[in-house]
Amino acid sequence: MARSKAVSGFPEWLPEGRMVERQVLDALRRVFELHSYVEIETRAVEPLGDLLRKGETSKEVYVLGRLQDEGASFSDDTLALHFDLTVPLARYVLGNAGRLDFPFKRCQIQKVWRGERPQQGRFREFTQADVDVIGRDTLPFTYEVEVAAVMAEALRALPIGQVRLSVNNRKVCEAFYRGLGLTDVESVLRWIDKLAKIGPVLVGEGLESSGLTPAQSRACLELASLNADDDGITALVSGLASRLGVGSALLETGLSELGELMLSLAEDAPGVARADLSVARGLDYYTGSVYETTLIGAPELGSICSGGRYDNLVSSGKQVFPGVGLSIGVTRLVSHMLGSVGVSRSVPACVWIAVVDEEHRSESRTVARALRARGIPCDVSPNAAKYGKQIAAADRRGIPFVWFPGEDGEADQVKDIRSGEQVEASSESWSPPDGDLVPGLVGV
Amino acid sequence: MARSKAVSGFPEWLPEGRMVERQVLDALRRVFELHSYVEIETRAVEPLGDLLRKGETSKEVYVLGRLQDEGASFSDDTLALHFDLTVPLARYVLGNAGRLDFPFKRCQIQKVWRGERPQQGRFREFTQADVDVIGRDTLPFTYEVEVAAVMAEALRALPIGQVRLSVNNRKVCEAFYRGLGLTDVESVLRWIDKLAKIGPVLVGEGLESSGLTPAQSRACLELASLNADDDGITALVSGLASRLGVGSALLETGLSELGELMLSLAEDAPGVARADLSVARGLDYYTGSVYETTLIGAPELGSICSGGRYDNLVSSGKQVFPGVGLSIGVTRLVSHMLGSVGVSRSVPACVWIAVVDEEHRSESRTVARALRARGIPCDVSPNAAKYGKQIAAADRRGIPFVWFPGEDGEADQVKDIRSGEQVEASSESWSPPDGDLVPGLVGV
């Protein structure tokens, strides 16, 4: 086949980039599993009707057709690629409710697709890493702490510098807005969600244009301006609320949850969480804690890990399955990391086994078998070129060791290319230093 | 959202099934990396034109459209889901040739999609695990041995019983057919490929219907009937060829390669390979060794791992990139395995940490942090029910240990639910037996 061009919005990494991504995915999965999240995968497609019921996203859906369907129109049963892992999770839980243990703690690391016009930093195909906990009938608040702690721990396992996990509680916002006499809570949240982008002046104008009085608009902005690094946030919000004569049982519940979240996260992930009343999150199905995560060194990247509590997303009619979860945008994160992180070598092999001549290739393959049987990744030279050339081939790939099978009964030798040191060695006993066994992440 | 029905041909596993699949994928990747295959992923889509150029498969392609494209017609640039990982590899190698080291050894484990009508054992979405080696200009024969040895080792790492790797060489078949005076080699191969399905009588009739004389047809069937468990295959084929007066340099090369493949595989994967001249493989781009793999205990499953050498698939016009590779159909294999293999527990946790009462949940979370910091997966009870109920919750998930935080300064205790044995323990030093740390595969 002939060379074909890149497809905008569908990123692909060179092998070194994929090795970085692989280490990220492995590190995330390891943390998820330490917390006993069970991994599932769901099919890449959902019926279009199920996806569209979520609204707003309709323009972003990729619909599937077969060649013979050219020119066909779409129906609810038409298959389309999933655009997140939450809709599929809801469907999976409902379909398998009788066979799952609740609370059902699952992680899911898969590609998702969005048919939007590609722009800087936006991908049409990307990998998400999600954790969610789904309860049957009820879901204890403790999981609103747990999922945040898991993600904080997972992100801290990556070489991405400090992260900030900003948290808020929908109950606080809703109770506050209702206390001000507002009824269209979602509309207010949508404007508050724009704060970081367009600033308080334009948000205030927007709120007024949607029917708020200047005083109401100011109060909403004042609430959004509150933040704290500990559970002192509850006193700040209470103070503002009582000053404005706003108060309700819902507000108390929300504040108590927000305070507990901050206290617990101080134990589980010290120095990471900030309570921030401007965190609104676009999605309207959140009903409790909401989360956003930024890299301290790269705020321009936006939120790399977001989510929240949702009480009504998953329901069979008879039964309700409240949930809470967060999602990491892995592709965007890796794309950012590749600016400063690489791998110590471009292939898995730790040892490059030289070939004396083609008649003795079998000896080199025997060495390789012995090393692999002891878990040491290695590769055999494709040719029997002069040793200088074989060493150069290993060096080009960043492989640290070259192995020379002994000729005529002599002992084998292994050379550390970096130091030049060469010693006698047996494939039955020699091991590389621990740090050299597999490729590691390095600064670039 | 409401419950929605399964989509035929798009399999999904319950958590336990996914854990089996995960262990399969991890085992495969580990073997691939021990042999220094670097993992890549390619985008899920290719331009339709590139996919159709492969012919035959056109009916199986899923085309992507956006909602606003309803009723649109397709062009070469229309995106479609890849149906294998070989076409994407060819495109990836050509697009990145200047940035890759050759021979380029890559493994790739990804979903592929085929828009065919689903039937028993056929999936429309499934995972493939491929290894390929691509050379620039040339590719030494040794890789035709290596990829087969890697796959034999990978499959033997799985609890699937004995596998048989059947090998053949296209050069032998082509030289033999040409020596009989036949020119349409591909047509003969397509008939021979049907042998296992329809038997020699119908294949013979088919060959004659496509223009072969009865003698030519008999000769082709006779060749296909030859097989051997060692390099004795070369003498068998040579004998038949000289009896029929067939001989050429190409036949000699092919037989020498086939013999060397059998000799080398006897070293790398003793008892696995069989030379079998009936192995034809449907795809017409193979030019050297071809491979098929069956489970001895489940021949009805068909080939679970197939591939071959291809000299002309990847070409930039100026430059050619010969390759060789094999592909495991992971989903079909896992689907089969799930009939006899399960996991020892339904969640990653090795320890279930009981909660005395909600006021002391923090103590349980502290135990969890300490265990996880030492790599022990664990989970904290969602409630502070009576201990009997908490133990039952752990037992239901197959978790082997329950941890009871000490009250009022007493020492913690840990109970092995299976034996009932309960001992004092410290979360700073206690460890489970090695075999209990992570879920293992078990017979069901």
pLDDT tens, A51-103?
A: 887 655 556 889 998 888 888 888 888 999 999 999 999 999 999 999 999 99
Sign of CA dihedral A13, A19, A21, A26: positive
| Distance of alpha carbon A244 from alpha carbon B167, whole angstroms | 82
DSSP A61: P
Percent of chain B with pLDDT over 70: 96
Nearest to B125 among A10, A14, A44 (CB): A44
Tokens describing residue A408 = 């005529």
> Residue B56: what pLDDT?
53
Contacts with B71 (C-beta within 8 Å, 6 or more apart), sequence order: A71, A72, A73
Q: Kindly list the residues from chain A whose CB atom is less than 8 angstroms away from the CB atom of residue B4.
A: 46-47, 50, 91, 94-95
Mean pLDDT of B376-383: 97
Task: Mark yes or no for CB contact B45/A383 under 8 Å.
Answer: no
Nearest to A71 among B73, B105, B361 (CB): B73
> Residue B228: what pLDDT?
98
pLDDT(A309) > 50: yes
Which range, of A88-92, A203-207, A282-286, A338-342, averages the lowest pLDDT?
A: A282-286
Q: Nearest C-alpha of chain A: how many angstroms from B360?
A: 13
At A1, the pLDDT band (50, 70, 90 cuts) reads: very low
Q: Kindly list the residues from chain B whose CB atom is less than 8 angstroms away from the CB atom of residue A256.
A: none
At B379, the pLDDT band (50, 70, 90 cuts) reads: very high
Tokens describing residue A275 = 């309570």
Nearest CA in chain A to B375: A34
At B57, the pLDDT band (50, 70, 90 cuts) reads: low
Mean pLDDT of A419-423: 97
Residue A416 CB burial class (10 angstroms; 0-12, 13-18, ≥19): middle
pLDDT digits 0-9 by tens, B278-307: 998 866 789 999 999 999 989 889 999 999
Longest dimension (CA), chain A: 94
Q: What angle do CA A15, A16, A20 make, to 5 degrees?
A: 115
pLDDT digits 0-9 by tens, B389-419: 999 999 999 999 999 999 888 999 999 999 9
Name the one residue in this structure whose structure tokens are 């999922």: A147
Mean pLDDT of B216-232: 97
Q: Name which of A21, A52, A359, A35 is nearest A160 in CA terms.
A: A21
Provide ipTM, 2 decimals: 0.94
Q: Kindly list the residues from chain B whose CB atom is less than 8 angstroms away from the CB atom of residue A43.
A: 7, 10-12, 125
| Distance of alpha carbon A147 from alpha carbon A132, whole angstroms | 7
Tokens describing residue B62 = 């899923």
Chain center to CA of A230 = 25
Nearest to A267 among B40, B96, B362 (CB): B362
| Distance of alpha carbon A343 from alpha carbon A327, whole angstroms | 26
DSSP B37: P
Provide the residue count of chain B. 444
Which range, of A58-62, B38-42, B251-255, B408-412, averages the lowest pLDDT?
A: A58-62
pLDDT(B2) > 70: no
Alpha-carbon dihedral angle through residues B29, B33, B38, B39, given to the nearest 10 degrees: 10
pLDDT(A141) > 60: yes
Residue B297, φ and ψ in degrees, nearest 5: -85, -5
pLDDT(A377) > 80: yes
pTM comes to 0.95
Are the CB atoms for A41 and A11 separated by under 8 Å? no
pLDDT(B118) > 70: no
Are the CB atoms for B129 and B25 separated by under 8 Å? yes
| Distance of alpha carbon A10 from alpha carbon A81, whole angstroms | 14
Q: Which SS3 state, helix, strand or coil, does residue B342 take?
A: strand
pLDDT digits 0-9 by tens, B119-139: 766 799 999 999 999 999 999
Are the CB atoms for A68 and B73 separated by under 8 Å? no
pLDDT(B1) > 50: no
Nearest to B61 among A46, A61, A67 (CB): A67
| Distance of alpha carbon B59 from alpha carbon B317, whole angstroms | 28
Task: Mark yes or no for CB contact A1/B64 under 8 Å.
Answer: no
> Residue A54: what pLDDT?
65
The one-letter code for the residue type at B419 is S
Across the A:B interface, residue pairs with CB atoms under 8 Å apart total 266
Percent of chain B with pLDDT over 90: 86
Task: Mark yes or no for CB contact B111/A11 under 8 Å.
Answer: no
DSSP B72: P
Q: Kindly list the residues from chain A whose CB atom is less than 8 angstroms away from the CB atom of residue B146.
A: 380
Are the CB atoms for A411 and A420 separated by under 8 Å? no
DSSP A60: G
Residue A302, φ and ψ in degrees, nearest 5: 75, -165
Q: Kindly list the residues from chain B whose CB atom is less than 8 angstroms away from the CB atom of residue A72.
A: 71
At A416, the pLDDT band (50, 70, 90 cuts) reads: very high
